[in-house]
Structure 1
Amino acid sequence: VSCGDCSILLEHVLLCAAHMLHQQTKGFPAIETQDGVIVSLQAKKVLSSPLTTVFLPVIYIIVFTLGLPANALAVWVFLFRVKKKHPSSIYMANLALADLLFVIWVPLKIAYHFNNNDWIYGEGLCKVLVAFFYANMYCSILFITCISVQRYWAVVHPLTQLERDNCVAIALSITVWVVVWAITVPLYLYDQEVQVTNLNVITCHDVTRPSHTKMAAGYFLTMGTLGFLVPSCVCIVSYVGMLKALQNNMSDPTIAKKRRKAIVLIITVLVMFIVCFTPSNIMLIVHYCLLLSGATNSLYGFYITTLCLASLNSCIDPFVYYFISEDFRDHIKNTFLCRSQRTVERMRVSFTALKNSKKSNTYTSDTANTQSTEC
């Protein structure tokens, strides 16, 4: 028997032993050694397949190419062009900032997957990348929930939209940031960077050490439940209440316009949840339930694909700003037309003066005609 056959036989023996002990890494039978982790042949196939080395980095390239300029422009518009702040604009500015903070780290993810899932940037950067990924996901969900509740409140209780609501929006935004960044702390407490000895690569968050399984499973099951299911229910209740309130006054043109805006918002958010958040969080819960139970998980490829698709929210969020905020649309158009804020204000004043002048001329003409008729 050759040395190569001996090594293959030893690998199979170790994997069988790991399977008997129910030590599973990301749903695959594995065993932990002093040098790292030995994963199964199925795990090796997934980690070296075109799914992870071609498809995932292509998706991340799309996210970076579209998300970086779109969210950078959105942050700039909300901070420097929108003079009169509203609660919804405050939430959208925070949402754009959360997306931007994630997108700037995406090139590391692209390089990692193109490098055959071999992480060469150190444990610290790996933990930062993972923390920013999940912080972006749950910040996005919570800020979208805040926007949904605010839109519901503006439709159902329009007379209570006072300037002091900005203080509530700022306080809620600060709370979201503090809570989300606090709950990402556990991601720094266990190894995200793992040496896979039988692939000769160092993975980042793609493999969990068997000794860290309970900590990771407990954390992600909690996040999947509280960070996704609860906000989703709040959004659904807000949209149902909004549509019911608008349905009762469809004869009013203003109400009809609000209803159209509400429907566009609902459709946009619905697409985002269907494509980005729902598959990834459902698979997250299923994956870690299987991991804790010791059952073989053959859906790992689908699981990491849904996590990748979750990052597409950074490209969809700007559509939320565009459809909800009329000020945002106007400022985007003026930006692309290279109009300064002073020029826009001057045009607005001129348009208002022209409009008032036309009204005045119409009134004078009508008065003269009346007097002529009386004579």
Structure 2
Amino acid sequence: MEFTTVQTGVMDTNFNQTARNHSSGGCSLESPLMTTVLPILYSILFILSLSLNGLAAWVFLRIPSKSYFIIYLKNIVVADIIMTLTFPFKILSDSNVASMGTRVFVCRMSSVLFYLTLYISILFIGLISLDRCRKTMWPSAGTSQRCLLHIKLLSGFIWALLVALCLPNIILTSRTNTSSHFMCSDLKTKMGLLWHKVVIYVCQVIFWGNLIVVIICYVLISKELYKSSARTRSQHAVSQGQLKKSSIQANIFLVLAVFIVCFVPFHFARVPYTNSQLPGQMFNCQEKLLLFLLKESTLWLSSLNAVLDPLIYFFLCKSFRKSLFNTLSISPGCCRDFRTDTGNIQRETSEKQNDLL
């Protein structure tokens, strides 16, 4: 696959405005959305994400890694913080105020780190979905120290694997820039362009594979919760059972909601966008611009993941809530409604949910 006006795939080079200033057959990809609206939105994300994830990291430092869930969440916090630190470079590039050196840095490092952490988050959300499914279907399943060690090793392996996958994109983006107007692909060696193509396919497999895993897990969780709530309604008032069932689903399915909102639109938008960049494809200038803007807008939704993840920590992790309340000197009683294991919920359903929270 040859690179045309804008690089596609996991290390999309639309971070820098020079790629947009280039045209495919004279088609400009400049627009107020890219140079004004999205930089403002990314600035808001940067402030919120840095604040929320900084607080989350401080809280998690006080929580021992006593479950798979907490280990996965700690990895996501690290990934979100690294992603957040790439936002200022994207803001500068998209708003057309970045220097030459900054644009080169974006091509060689910043965009690589952004997508590295994006797919780290996708993988760990897939693992969280598997863990939630396991605890729903087998609530009595224990967690040994040996198993925790294996999960920590798995987490390290995931980071090492994706770093090894992305590192060549940094090393092989080594050509000397001779023009003030360049695309990131202009900085890549011939081997770098080939490796970039490999990374695109691998990351597509990562996303679609995790999407399948997440859907299957939450279908199984839904079936198990339906069975438990049906037994609950046979012993309690229908209205009371329905209210508590809704409360359970609102929290447990938060992971699914974040995954769908943040990652699905971007990966669906990238398919037609990538096709529009391939040689020989019949797309006019307006269609290319529309697909480009759609891809960049949904990429912002993927970045929104860094702000929404703290909601998962708060609503689904009792240890996080407790430690947060202690840190902020807040009484847990003020947020009792967030819990799904209180009240008069039938014992069987409560046991299935208790460890999830």
Change (3 A) 1:262 1:318: same
Correspondence 1:9-28 to 2 at 5 A: 24-26=4-6
Which structure has more RCO (C-alpha within 8 Å, separation ≥ 6)?
Answer: 2
Partner of 1:101: 82
Residue 149 of structure 2 corresponds to residue 167 of structure 1: yes
Residue 208 of structure 2 corresponds to residue 229 of structure 1: yes
Q: Which amino acid aligns with 2:38?
A: L
Q: How many residues align?
A: 303
Q: What do the CA deviations read for 1:292-321 (whole angstroms, capped 9, x no partner)?
A: 453155112222222233111101111111
- For residues 57 and 316 of structure 2, the distance between their equivalents in structure 1, rounded to whole angstroms, comes to 15
> Which structure would you say has the larger Rg?
1
Q: If the length of structure 1 is used for normalisation, what is the TM-score?
A: 0.69
Q: Secondary structure at the match of 1:75?
A: helix
Partner of 1:129: 110
Q: What do the CA deviations read for 1:233-259 (whole angstroms, capped 9, x no partner)?
A: 001111111121222222359xx8798
Give the CA deviation at 1:46: 2.2
Correspondence 1:336-351 to 2 at 5 A: 336-337=328-329
Q: Is the CA contact 2:5–2:23 (under 8 Å) kept in the aligned structure 1?
A: no
- For residues 223 and 284 of structure 1, the distance between their equivalents in structure 2, rounded to whole angstroms, comes to 12
Q: Is the CA contact 1:95–1:140 (under 8 Å) kept in the aligned structure 2?
A: yes
Change (3 A) 1:196 1:269: farther
Give the CA deviation at 1:201: 4.2
Partner of 2:46: 64
Residue 306 of structure 2 corresponds to residue 314 of structure 1: yes
Q: What do the CA deviations read for 1:201-229 (whole angstroms, capped 9, x no partner)?
A: 45557x888977665444323312x1200
Give the CA deviation at 1:280: 1.6
More displaced 10-residue stretch of structure 1: 285-294 or 126-135 = 285-294
Q: Which has the higher strand share?
A: 1
Residue 303 of structure 2 corresponds to residue 302 of structure 1: no
Residue 161 of structure 2 corresponds to residue 182 of structure 1: no
Identity of aligned residues (%): 27
Give the CA deviation at 1:77: 1.1
Q: If the length of structure 2 is used for normalisation, what is the TM-score?
A: 0.73
Change (3 A) 1:141 1:27: closer
Q: Is the CA contact 1:77–1:328 (under 8 Å) kept in the aligned structure 2?
A: yes
Residue 207 of structure 2 corresponds to residue 220 of structure 1: no
Q: Is the CA contact 2:49–2:307 (under 8 Å) kept in the aligned structure 1?
A: yes
- For residues 95 and 317 of structure 1, the distance between their equivalents in structure 2, rounded to whole angstroms, comes to 8
Give the CA deviation at 1:150: 0.6
- How well do the aligned residues superpose, as a CA RMSD in angstroms? 3.5
Give the CA deviation at 1:118: 5.5
Correspondence 1:281-300 to 2 at 5 A: 281-297=267-283, 298=288, 299-300=291-292
Give the CA deviation at 1:182: 1.8
Change (3 A) 1:311 1:168: same
- For residues 188 and 297 of structure 2, the distance between their equivalents in structure 1, rounded to whole angstroms, comes to 21
- 1:264 aligned to 248, 251, 274, which one? 251
Correspondence 1:31-180 to 2 at 5 A: 39-40=22-23, 45-47=28-30, 49-80=31-62, 82-83=63-64, 85-116=66-97, 119-121=100-102, 123-124=104-105, 126-164=107-145, 165-180=147-162
More displaced 10-residue stretch of structure 1: 275-284 or 321-330 = 275-284
